[in-house]
Homo-oligomer: A and B are copies of this chain.
Amino acid sequence: MTVNKSDREAQPHRQTASAEILAIALAQFATAGFAGTSLQQIADAAGYSKSSVLYHFTSKDALLEAAIGPAVDRLEHVLGGVARLRESSEARELFVEEFIDFLFEYRLEVHTFINQGQSLVGIPVIDRANAVLGRLAATFAADSTTVEEKLRFGVALGGAAYELVASMNFGDQELAHDERRSALITIVSELLAPIQTRPLTA
């Protein structure tokens, strides 16, 4: 009997090889670090040979690019809405929600380039991520006169990213998604509140 193509797609956890390898690689990069993850480890975890991994992705760098590239794209898009921060408190609330949702959707990717962005400079996709983060930080720090206001953004970003990935090993367990989402929105909104309050000045 011939096996039609839908047979592959029918199996939920047996996607295309590329997607499979990519997902595993991303998880490894986020937890063990890019430098700390070998192609052999990824291949073993995915059930393929190292050669297969390099067949689907030209190089280890290309694998990283494919893994976090979409997240950087999305972040660039989210950044477009940052101007709304100073408009109204409703618009600001909307931006924070959008940002938190972004963090949830790309938690592994964000954790990867947040915590390894400094050591991986030179890899194009990382440089792109650093540039976006820099612009984001600059927007917040733009006309913040006090140190505190500048720090608030950093704490919110680093804190949220850390909480989404690194913390869950201290008995946190996997809490309900919705509950975590709304709690994070509350916390981050509270953190950024003093920045939003002040009207836009030269």
The chain A residues found within 8 Å of chain B, CB to CB, are 31-36, 114-119, 130, 133-134, 137-138, 141, 146-148, 150-152, 154-163, 166-167, 169-172, 175-176, 179-180, 183-184, 186-188, 190-191
Contacts and interface: CB of A to CB of B under 8 A. Distances in A.
Contacts of A116: 33
Contact of A158 (B118, B162, B175, B176): B162
Nearest to A152: B187
Contacts of A133: 170
Contacts of A152: 187
B159 A31 contact: no
Question: In the complex, which of the residues A32, A151, A169, A180 has the most CB atoms of chain B within 10 Å of its own CB atom?
Answer: A151
B155 A160 contact: yes
Given A119-B32, A187-B155, A150 B162 contact: no
Contacts of A176: 147
Nearest to A165: B118
26 contacts: A31-B119, A32-B35, A32-B118, A35-B35, A36-B119, A115-B115, A115-B166, A117-B166, A134-B171, A137-B171, A138-B171, A147-B175, A147-B176, A147-B179, A148-B183, A148-B186, A151-B187, A154-B167, A154-B172, A158-B159, A158-B162, A158-B163, A158-B166, A159-B159, A187-B191, A190-B190
